[in-house]
Amino acid sequence: MLSNLFLQLTHIELLISYPVKDILTLIKRDPRFTVKVLNDIYFEDSFVDEGIHRLIMNNVVNWLYERGENPDEFVQKIIQRCASFEAVPARSVLRSYLPYVSQFYATEDVRQLCLDIIPKRYPLLTNSKFLRRELVDGFRKEYFTYRFDSPGMLITNPMRWFNGLVQLGPIFLNTPQYELIEYKASQTSFVEALENRVPAEVRDDGCVYVNGRQVGKYMTFGDCLAEYGLEWEFEAEKKMACIRATEDVIDEKVGAVLIHKGCYYGAPASVVYFDYKANVVAPEPFNKLMSAVVKQEFDSWEPIQKAQEQLLEAMNDSVTIIYYKSDDSISVNNKHLMRNVPARILRNLLREYSATGREEFENREFKRDPSICMDPLRPNFESRLNRVIAHINGSDDPEHPSEGVKKFFEIERHRRGGFRFVPKCKIIFREE
């Protein structure tokens, strides 16, 4: 279990920046988004497990991409809002710093101390430590390493989020952001960093290509350490293969930086470089946080609370779908919808959606099921899927009118060989 603080900041940004009806499209992406989950990420000092953290953050990233928005800019909006101390969960932040209050009042460099306490504040970052620290012309140049026991345990690609989280430390403590933060190595693989936005191709020359352009090359983690003059205690890890980015890869649609030039991807540990002005102090490092706590007693928190209440109320909109084994039929809100093969197709789809949240399906998945397509040589699945869609859409035929259920969910045949399940409310599915 881990603190919900960063999830809370993310959720607050959603509540402030988007109308409830838009946030609902995010919530409906996965049936595991429940009222309890939303309360756990909203209320101060709550805790969530790693799986819920990953679920939320990955869905937020994919949702932003689907809206044509840049996740990098979303993180910057969180940072900017915190810098203005607008709608900051100040009590939670303040409590997280209580063990270090005396150190921050005594330190000669607030921002260096923010980095020093990272291993204690974030215990999920294992083997976190500094590999090298130098002071050059009044600037600190420091290489920090950390790893997750299971890469991607909190989010598939944590790079932008880690940078944002680290920048919040100085902001909360009344000092400027770090001038430069760069990943030199990342546990995130090259493919995961692309976030399904562009395909990558590995050729026989040991290089990686995106859209015909060379953007990476296979090297070792030892090459990374040598390039930046860093020592490493685990000899075997130096031989591990990585992909060194030779060019930036930028998402053409939204402008997000997917791959950062010079970074080694798929490394056994992440290495982050900090370059910032030394000896920046704040006479009253907790002054703004204390002021934010006072403001929360008045009007600044009311719009957020109202948006949260509206979201929870809207989530109560749901549909109950039951598959009856006895007569091979499906009902929606206690009204018969379909039976036999169409019912089995919808049943299989809903089983997968309820278990994993997956909405994209391939025709061949269903063609292989003998309960749906008995003749593998002539599966005729497309016509059977058309019958499912017809039941969902209903009919305007005056002789055989049917209301349909597309106000609850639809099936879109948006590409050849596949289709998409589109939930429009919370789906409750069971088999009896």
Q: What is the pLDDT of residues 260-298, one digit of tens each?
A: 999 999 999 999 999 999 999 888 999 888 888 777 655
Confidence of residue 78 (pLDDT cuts 50, 70, 90): very high
* pLDDT for the residue 297: 54
Whether 373 shows a pLDDT value over 90: the answer reads no
Q: Which of 17-26, 87-96, 190-199 has the lowest mean pLDDT?
A: 87-96
Which token pair is 277? 């002005």
Q: Which residue has the higher pLDDT, 69 or 334?
A: 69
Percentage of residues in the chain having pLDDT higher than 90: 60
Mean pLDDT of 386-391: 92
42 contacts 307 by C-beta, under 8 angstroms: no
| Tokens found for residue 143 | 């290489």
**What pLDDT, on the 0 to 100 scale, is given for residue 288?**
87
- The band of 364, judged by pLDDT with boundaries at 50, 70 and 90, is confident
Do residues 91 and 286 lie in contact, with contact meaning Cβ atoms separated by under 8 Å?
no
More confident of the two residues 38 and 376: 38
User: Across the chain, what does the average pLDDT equal?
Assistant: 90
Q: Would you say 71 and 65 are in contact if contact means Cβ atoms under 8 Å apart?
A: yes
How much is the average pLDDT of 111-132?
92
The whole-number average pLDDT for the span 345-351 is: 93
Rg (CA), the chain: 26
Whether 397 has a pLDDT exceeding 90, the answer reads no
Q: Would you say 81 and 171 are in contact if contact means Cβ atoms under 8 Å apart?
A: no
C-alpha 150: how far from chain center: 16
Q: Where are the alpha helices (DSSP H) in 67-201?
A: 71-83, 90-97, 101-106, 110-116, 118-121, 159-172, 190-193
Residue 226's closest CA among 242, 247, 202, 205? 242
Whether the CB-CB separation of 348 and 321 falls below 8 Å is answered with no
Helices and strands (H and E) in the chain: how many: 18, 20
pLDDT score recorded for residue 230? 97
pLDDT at 316: 67
Query: Cα-flanking dihedrals φ and ψ of residue 276, to 5°?
Result: -150, 155
**Cβ-based neighbour number of residue 93 at 10 Å:** 23
Residue 379 has pLDDT above 80, yes or no: no
What is the pLDDT confidence band of residue 368, given thresholds at 50, 70 and 90?
Answer: confident
Q: What is the mean pLDDT of residues 406-430?
A: 87
Backbone torsions φ then ψ of 351, nearest 5 degrees? -60, -50
pLDDT for 32: 83
Checking if the pLDDT of 131 tops 90, the result is yes
The residue ranking higher by pLDDT, 237 or 30, is: 237
- CA 9 to CA 35: how far, in whole Å? 18
Buried b (16+ CB within 10 A) or exposed e, 32-66: ebeeebbebbbeeebebeeebbbbbbbbbbbbbbe
Query: What's the pLDDT band for 388 if we cut at 50, 70, 90?
Result: very high
Integer Cα distance of 273 and 145 in angstroms: 9
pLDDT digits (tens, 9 = 90+) for 36-61: 888 888 887 788 888 899 999 999 99
pLDDT exceeds 90 at position 124 = no
**pLDDT per position as a tens digit, 226-263:** 999 999 999 999 999 999 999 999 999 999 999 999 99
Q: How much is the pLDDT for 308?
A: 85
Give the mean pLDDT of 321-334: 93
Residues forming a β-bridge with 331: 322, 336
Q: Model's pTM, two decimal places?
A: 0.74
Tokens of 309: 């209440």
pLDDT above 70 for 401: no
For the beta carbon of residue 89, count every other beta carbon within 10 angstroms: 25
Higher pLDDT, 71 or 122: 71
